[in-house]
């Protein structure tokens, strides 16, 4: 039997990020970048996205080295997607300074043959219209998760609600859950979202961890306590990628696997926020990951 893979569609970007620890200009980022790197600790990945002619070969090579197939990472004439943000000193809130879609404008990817309907699919944060387009093209029979953000709830709510009827897991942060549902209380928000048709909901609460809701299981995971947070960019995407990568590796969505997938998502996100861009994530090893998971277990057992 061929090993199950995880296909990921989302943004590959150049980010300019400012936090109280410094500024980085045009560093590698994007929802699909962080998600693919997070997932690659557990399962092979098909990355589906687009970059411009300014995107260096060394990043393609890095993805390939980490078992992230780039057959679906199209290189087009033009500039790579760009995003700039500045974080408040508390590192909890950020202001988006600019978004330049560039090659993403109207992008509809070729789906490579390496993407099989039976594989799992992560629709990482990107325009829900494009997420839905991919869904229809791939016609997946595996597990499907979708991540989103405030601007899509604001501007493409109808498309997002349509997509929710087809997918298995929705990931979003607490503010977005409130925004999507119109409910202040997160339990009520989860109920509303589940009535929209999605089976499982993960509400990410940044430094306060994550909540999981499904009909049969509710579960809470605290965040891993860190001494140094440098740049929170990509934490949510890393979480989503790691969670789906773990479930892809296990190939069975049992209660234990679901619980553990949230823990692995949490721990890998903790590596992301320690450094700028992808440095914390690519700088870690499976050994360091497992060590942190063990420590997390000690911190949370009672
Ligand atoms: P997160 O911190 O998990 O919300 O993810 C931040 C990453 O998402 C950055 O690397 C950005 O390049 C990417 N990003 C920001 N805005 C968008 C957008 N509108 N569509 C797709 N990706 C985005």
Q: Where are the domains of the chain?
A: 6-290
Q: Which two tokens stand for residue 140?
A: 């997946």
Span 260-271, average pLDDT: 97
207-241 pLDDT per residue, tens: 889 999 998 889 999 999 999 999 999 999 999 99
| 49 phi and psi angles, rounded to 5 deg | -165, -170
Q: Which helix (H) or strand (E) holds 71?
A: none
* Predicted pLDDT of residue 1: 64
Give the closest residue (by CA) to ligand 1 atom 1.
234
Which residues are CB-neighbours of 37 under 8 A, at least 6 positions away?
Answer: 66, 68, 238, 241, 278, 281, 282
Scan for tokens 């594989």, then name that residue. 119
Q: CB neighbours (10 Å) of residue 226?
A: 13
The answer, yes or no, to whether any atom of ligand 1 lies below 6 A from the CB of 15, is yes
Ligand 1 pocket, mutate which of 10, 12, 13 (most atoms under 8 A from CB): 13
Ligand 1 pocket, mutate which of 36, 83, 171, 275 (most atoms under 8 A from CB): 83
Question: Is the Cβ–Cβ distance between 206 and 92 less than 8 Å?
Answer: yes
| CA–CA dist 30, 277 (Å, integer) | 9
User: 53, exposed or middle or buried, with CB in 10 Å at 0-12, 13-18, 19+?
Assistant: exposed
Under DSSP, is residue 79 helix (H, G, I), strand (E, B) or coil? coil
Give the Å distance between the CA of 258 and the centre of ligand 1: 25
Indicate the pLDDT class of residue 176, thresholds 50, 70 and 90: very high
Give the closest residue (by CA) to ligand 1 atom 15.
83
| CA–CA dist 242, 86 (Å, integer) | 25
End-to-end CA distance of the chain: 40
DSSP conformation class of 126 = S
Ligand 1 pocket, mutate which of 19, 55, 107, 125 (most atoms under 8 A from CB): 125
Under DSSP, is residue 191 helix (H, G, I), strand (E, B) or coil? helix
DSSP conformation class of 225 = P
Give the Å distance between the CA of 243 and the centre of ligand 1: 18
Give the Å distance between the CA of 31 and the centre of ligand 1: 5
Indicate the pLDDT class of residue 193, thresholds 50, 70 and 90: very high
| 107 phi and psi angles, rounded to 5 deg | -65, 130
Taking the CA of residue 37 as centre, how many other CA atoms within 13 Å lie in the half-sphere pointing to its CB?
31
How far apart, in Å, are the Cα atoms of 229 and each of 89, 206, 222, 254, 300?
11, 12, 16, 33, 21
| CA–CA dist 302, 296 (Å, integer) | 12
236-246 pLDDT per residue, tens: 999 999 999 99
| 187 phi and psi angles, rounded to 5 deg | -65, -40
99-148 pLDDT per residue, tens: 999 999 999 999 999 999 999 999 999 999 999 999 999 999 999 999 99
The answer, yes or no, to whether any atom of ligand 1 lies below 6 A from the CB of 69, is no
Span 255-261, average pLDDT: 96
| CA–CA dist 82, 28 (Å, integer) | 10
Q: Is the pLDDT of residue 281 over 80?
A: yes
Per-residue H/E/C for 127-170: CHHHHHHHHHHHCCCCCEEEECCHHHHHHCHHHHHHHHCCCCEE
Give the Å distance between the CA of 85 and the centre of ligand 1: 10
Which ligand 1 atom is at minimum distance from the Cα of 81? 12
Model confidence, pTM: 0.96
Q: What is the mean pLDDT of the chain?
A: 96
* Predicted pLDDT of residue 100: 96
Q: Which CATH architecture has domain 6-290?
A: 3-Layer(aba) Sandwich (3.40)
How far apart, in Å, are the Cα atoms of 107 and each of 10, 70, 81?
11, 17, 11
* Predicted pLDDT of residue 267: 97
Q: Which helix (H) or strand (E) holds 301?
A: none
Span 64-78, average pLDDT: 97
Indicate the pLDDT class of residue 91, thresholds 50, 70 and 90: very high
DSSP conformation class of 102 = G
Q: By percentage, how much of the chain surpasses pLDDT 70?
A: 100
* Predicted pLDDT of residue 207: 85
Q: How many residues are recorded in the chain?
A: 302
* Predicted pLDDT of residue 3: 86
């Amino acid at each position: 039997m061929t090993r199950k893979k995880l296909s990921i569609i989302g943004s590959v970007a150049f980010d300019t990020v400012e936090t109280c620890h410094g500024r980085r200009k045009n560093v590698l980022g994007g929802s699909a970048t962080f998600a693919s790197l997070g997932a690659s600790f557990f399962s092979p990945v098909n990355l589906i996205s687009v970059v411009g002619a300014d995107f260096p070969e060394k990043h393609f090579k890095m993805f390939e080295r980490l078992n992230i197939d780039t057959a679906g990472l199209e290189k087009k004439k033009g500039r790579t997607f760009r995003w700039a943000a500045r974080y408040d000193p508390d590192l909890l809130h950020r202001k988006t300074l600019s978004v330049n879609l560039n090659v993403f404008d109207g992008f509809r990817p070729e789906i490579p043959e390496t993407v099989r309907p039976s594989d799992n699919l992560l629709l990482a944060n990107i325009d829900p219209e494009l997420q839905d387009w991919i869904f229809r093209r791939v016609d997946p029979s595996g597990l499907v998760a979708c991540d989103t953000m405030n601007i899509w709830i604001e501007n493409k709510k109808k498309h997002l609600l349509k997509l929710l009827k087809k997918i298995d897991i929705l990931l979003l942060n607490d503010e977005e859950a409130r925004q999507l549902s119109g409910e202040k209380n997160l339990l009520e928000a989860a109920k509303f979202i589940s009535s929209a048709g999605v089976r499982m909901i993960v509400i990410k609460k940044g430094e306060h961890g994550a909540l999981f809701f499904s009909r049969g299981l509710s579960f809470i995971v605290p965040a891993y306590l860190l001494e140094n947070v440098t740049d929170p960019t990509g934490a949510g995407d890393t979480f989503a990628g790691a969670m789906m990568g773990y479930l892809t590796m296990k190939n069975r969505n049992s209660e234990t696997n679901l619980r553990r997938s949230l823990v692995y998502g949490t721990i890998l996100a903790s590596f992301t926020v320690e450094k700028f861009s992808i440095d914390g994530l690519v700088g870690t090893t499976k050994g360091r990951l497992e060590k942190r998971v063990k420590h997390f277990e000690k911190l949370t057992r009672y």
